[in-house]
Amino acid sequence: MLRYTLMRLGVFAGCFAAVWGLVYLGVFPRGLGDSNGMWIVLLALVLSAPISFVLLRKERDRASETVVRRVDRMKAGLESSRSQEDEAVDSTRAQGQPS
């Protein structure tokens, strides 16, 4: 998961540098007034999203598999705890003690 995040950050940084250079050269327009920095960041975000979607597909799939495995382990642990509680309550009731 960390690897995918760092790769996304790298794609964004590359897009940011490219957009900054293109704005500096006058290829892309500058923002209004003092908004030039925000313009560059937003344009870099818009460009980096589809690039990341295409280039990082395999890494995104690996990250999602990791998340699914973690969720499945947590569900199994919760189910195990729940069944242990149920068994404890059932044995208490079988002994005739109030629950």
Q: Residue 24: its pLDDT value, please?
A: 87
Q: Where are the domains of the chain?
A: 1-55, 57-94
What pLDDT sits at residue 32?
67
pLDDT score recorded for residue 18: 95
- Using CA atoms, how far apart are residues 42 and 31, in angstroms rounded to an integer? 11
Give the model's pLDDT for residue 97: 60
Per-residue pLDDT of the chain (99 residues; tens, 9 = 90+): 889 999 999 999 999 999 999 988 888 888 766 678 898 999 999 999 999 999 999 999 999 999 999 999 999 888 888 777 777 777 777 776 655
Question: Long-range pairs for 52-58 at CB < 8 Å and ≥24 separation?
Answer: 52/7, 52/8, 52/11, 52/12, 55/11, 56/4, 56/7, 56/8, 56/11
